[in-house]
Every structure is written in structure tokens, then in C-alpha cells.
Amino acid sequence: MILCTLCVRAEDSIKVSSADLQALMQRVERLEQAQAHPNKRGYVDGVSGATRQVPQDTTKRRFTVGGYGEVTAKHCFYSNNYLRYGKNPEKYANDHYGEFDLPHVVIYLGYDFGKGWSVGTEIEFEHGGTESAIEIEEEEGGEYEAEIERGGEVALEQFWLQKAFNRYAILRAGMQVIPVGGLNAHHEPTEYFSVYRNEGEFTIIPSTWHEVGLTFMGSTPNGWHYQAMFLPGLDSDRFNRKNWIKPGTGSPYEFKLANVFAGAARVDYTGVKGLRLSLSGYCGNSFRNTLSKTNAELDASAYKDVKGTVSIGAFDFAYKDYGVVLRGSFIYGHLSDAAAITQYNISMRKGSVSSKQWVASDALAAGIEVGYDFFSLNKKLAEKKQSFYVFGRYDYYDSMFRYDNQPTDMYAWCGRHRAAVGINYFPIKQIGVKAEFSYGILKQGTRADGTRGKIYNDEPQIAVGIVYAGFYQL
């Protein structure tokens, strides 16, 4: 009916070219299809918890384009010297430094072929570069070294092919995000208040964690979403004290070794308006998932029963309504055979990929943030979809929460509290301006004179950022 009416109006006008009429008809066709499928979306919702995927619409092929990115600046009122956690941290108590950065710039492209088949790709540029950098190595006396964090010049964060049989059963194969924890499942910069990704999860597990694997997922009409994944295991050679198992997802080779395997799963519930509750987990072995060996090769008697099983459990939630946004997460991880893996890594050859550091048997991270949108009090601003949040955030994390055969306070600096306050201004939904002041409070320990107290400098900083996240269908 809409099309007929427009055609009559076109005939009554003075002049309408065939090209103009054809373009008008195409616009009407797209409008009618949009009305027929008003809830088709190609990106993750901050509360719904649904995994981002190309919309499944068999009536018309669709191309999805989008991405996200951050432009940030910070000034740190503490030192970035690699010895700041050493025996004499007071030497660096008055040091400051600043940074300008592009932490993540991501381009997303997806296509719906119809009949349930779709493809998705995501290319990430970290820090405006190609994942190669000069770094100061703490474990090698502060030497400058060229580091390759992952094989290749850019990070292909996602590339998957998907077949949707129905809403209950979807199969996906390829490079995809492992949605363990709140941050991996909701890593777009518009989905958290801080200028940078929250330190806790970002420190102890990979972010954004992506692997080649096979996923079965789906959802129910009453608000349940589920995923189960099969993927290669981590590489225990690359574990370290500061980031626990996080470096184990990388590979210096042109392929990812799969001598051992792992599984991951996630369940979200969104059946209550404005609320998302999520449970996720990971389990897999990590030992011998490498091409390297120790100087003495591999002592079968010492390491024959070592598996290096990594077990991670996480809970996260989000609530958004009445101008309030509340988000939180808790993640706990355990590494079996941590002492044996530490000994194995320390004995590796100098040219190996191992950091040759102590690794914890247990690590944890917890965080919560709450913000209030003051623009929700103004009807005109609310109608324009503008937001102005004032927020507070608290984190506690420890990458060396438990470890064996070392003095208790040797790695006290790996655990800390962090408190932050700030603002988020969104002139439109897809673009935000952020500012925050944060204060990192390091744990107490035993001083050289045997007394208990603060032995490391606290870490205050101010940060600002401009962020973007948007996904569009063409």
C-alpha cells in the first residue's frame, strides 16, 4: 500500500526520472523490511548479554559494518621504571609519567548469506601499531628488546563462519571471542565506565580473548542465552607473575599449537527487564603445548604427571534502568602443578619464549561500578538519547594470590585495590567522552626491618578518553 501511494504521487508530480523512482522504490522496500523485522540487531547489548552475531534474516541479504575504538591520554603520579617493585621502591616515589595512546581500534565486517549462513570478521589494531614493540624486560636486567606479542602484523580478532538452524541451535567455527568473564563478553568501550578496560580481569586473563574453535550456542524466548566452546589449550611456557595465564593464549609461530585442548561455556539470563546475570567458565590443560624444551630436555620422571590444568570460574552482572547502571564481576582461577611449571619454565633456554618467572597456583579479580545518568532527569535530553553519567568503581585483584615455595610477601605488589571516580558523557549513543581519577593501593608487606606496613608506592592517575562503538546494517 505504501508503494502504490508513492507511485501515484510520483505520477502526479511535474517530473520524476526513472532513476529517482527506482531509488525511491528501493527505500520503500528497505523501510517495509525494517518494519517487518524491527528487532534485528547485529551487536551486543550491554544488558542483554547476547553474543554479537550477524543478524539471521532469510528475506534479504545483509551486510554489517562497524567497530569500536579509543583515543586516550593519562598522567600517572608514579614511576614506570621496571625496578619500582624492587628492593628500593622509595627511590621512585616522586616520579611521574604520561601517555597518549590508541589502545584498541577495531573494524568489524559481517555478511548474512541467507538460509542461516553468515560470516563475521574483526580486525584489531592495538596501540596504533602492528603488535611489535620495543619493551624493557624486567627479568633480564632492564634490557631493551624487540617483542612480538603475536605472529602476524595485525591481530585478526575474529573470523568465523556460522550456521543458524534456529534460535536454539547455532554452530560457529573459526577465530572467535572466548566469553569468559564480564570484560571479554562486553569489551566495547561504551560498555564500561573506566577510560581503560578494568584492571582486574584485564590483568589475569586475556582480553579480548580469542581463539580458533568450534561453538554451539543459542537462546530461548524466556531470556536464556548459552554457549559451549571447544578450543586449543593455553601454553604454560608463557605464564608469568604479573599476568598469570594471560600470555598463554598468544603464539610466536604462524599457527597455534594444539597439543592439549580446552572447553569454555557461558550462560546469560535476561528474563527480567534491565537485568543480566551471567556465569562463565574455562577448563583445559596447558603443559607441553609448546615447541620448546628445557636445557636438560624433559625429565620424564619429574614431569610425567604434570598437566597444568587451568580452571576459571566467573560471575558477572549488569542492571540498567531508571537512570542507574550497575555492573560487577568476580573471577577466580586455579593452575594445577604451578610449582612444577615454574621450575620447568625457569630452566628453559635463554632464547625460549618463556619469561622464566614464578607462576601462581591461584589468581582472582573482582570489581563493581555504579553510575547515574543525570540527563535522565531532563525529558528533552533523554529524548535526544544523550547521557551524562557520574560513576564510581572499585577493583581488587591479585595475579599471585597463592603460590608455593617462596616467601609470602615476595610478590605483594601483584595484588592491589583500585578505586576510581569519573564521568561519561554521550552526545549520541555511539560516542562517549570519559574522564576519571583513580588510585591504586598496593598491599602491605614485611619491610626490611621486619615490621609490617606499606613497602610499595601507591599508584594514582588521571585519564581522559574519547570512545566509539557502533554496528550498522547496509
Question: pLDDT of the chain along its 474 residues, tens only?
Answer: 443 343 433 434 334 444 444 544 454 444 444 444 433 333 333 343 334 444 444 456 689 999 999 999 999 999 998 888 887 888 888 899 999 999 999 999 999 999 999 999 999 988 876 656 666 665 555 666 666 665 435 788 899 999 999 999 999 999 999 999 999 999 999 999 999 999 999 999 998 899 999 999 999 999 999 999 999 999 998 999 999 999 998 777 777 888 899 999 999 999 999 999 999 999 999 998 877 665 455 556 678 889 999 999 999 999 999 999 999 999 999 999 999 999 888 888 777 778 888 999 999 999 999 999 999 999 999 899 999 999 999 999 999 999 876 656 678 889 999 999 999 999 999 999 999 999 999 987 666 666 666 788 899 999 999 999 999 888
Residue with C-alpha cell 597456583?
A: 361
Q: Are 29 and 37 in contact (CB under 8 A)?
A: no
* Cis peptide bond prior to 121, omega within 30° of 0: no
* Amino acid making up residue 429: K
Tell me how far apart the alpha carbons of residues 344 and 182 are, in angstroms, rounded to a whole number: 32
Q: Terminal CA-to-CA distance of the chain, rounded, Å? A: 24
Largest pairwise CA distance in the chain: 95
Q: Are 64 and 110 in contact (CB under 8 A)?
A: yes
Tell me how far apart the alpha carbons of residues 246 and 184 are, in angstroms, rounded to a whole number: 13
The pLDDT, as a whole number, for residue 447 is: 64
The pLDDT, as a whole number, for residue 448 is: 62
Secondary structure string (H, E, C) spanning the chain: CHHHHHHHHHHHCCCCCHHHHHHHHHHHHHHHHHHHCCCCCCCCCCCCCCCCCCCCCCCCCEEEEEEEEEEEEEEECCCCCCCCCCCCHHHHCCCCEEEEECCEEEEEEEEEEECCEEEEEEEEEECCCCCEEEEEEHHHCCEEEEEECCCCCCEEEEEEEEEEEECCEEEEEEEEECCCHHHHHCCCHHHCCCCCCCHHHHHHCCCCCEEEEEEEEEECCCCEEEEEEEEECCCHHHCECCCECHHHHCCCCCCCCCCCEEEEEEEEECCCCCEEEEEEEEEECCCCCCCCCECCECCHHHHCCCCCCEEEEEEEEEEEECCEEEEEEEEEEEECCHHHHHHHHHCECCCCCCCCCCCCCEEEEEEEEEEEEHHHHCHHHHHCCCEEEEEEEEEEEEEEEECCCCCCCCCHHHEEEEEEEEEEEEEECCEEEEEEEEEEEECEEECCCCCEEECCCCEEEEEEEEEEEEEEEC
The pLDDT, as a whole number, for residue 47 is: 41
The pLDDT, as a whole number, for residue 444 is: 74
Tell me how far apart the alpha carbons of residues 178 and 57 are, in angstroms, rounded to a whole number: 25
Task: Catalogue all structural domains in the chain, each as residue range(s) with its CATH number.
Answer: 37-66+103-375+469-473 (2.40.160)
Q: Are 117 and 163 in contact (CB under 8 A)?
A: yes
* Amino acid making up residue 472: Y
Tell me how far apart the alpha carbons of residues 90 and 93 are, in angstroms, rounded to a whole number: 5
Where residue 341 falls (left for φ over 0; alpha for ψ -120 to 50; beta otherwise) is alpha
Q: Are 283 and 311 in contact (CB under 8 A)?
A: yes
The pLDDT, as a whole number, for residue 290 is: 79
Tell me how far apart the alpha carbons of residues 398 and 413 are, in angstroms, rounded to a whole number: 9
Torsion angle, CA of 290/296/300/301, rounded to 10 degrees?
Answer: -140
Q: Which residues contact 278 (CB under 8 A, 6 or more apart)?
A: 49, 182, 185, 266, 267, 268, 269, 314, 315, 316, 317
Tell me how far apart the alpha carbons of residues 285 and 263 are, in angstroms, rounded to a whole number: 10
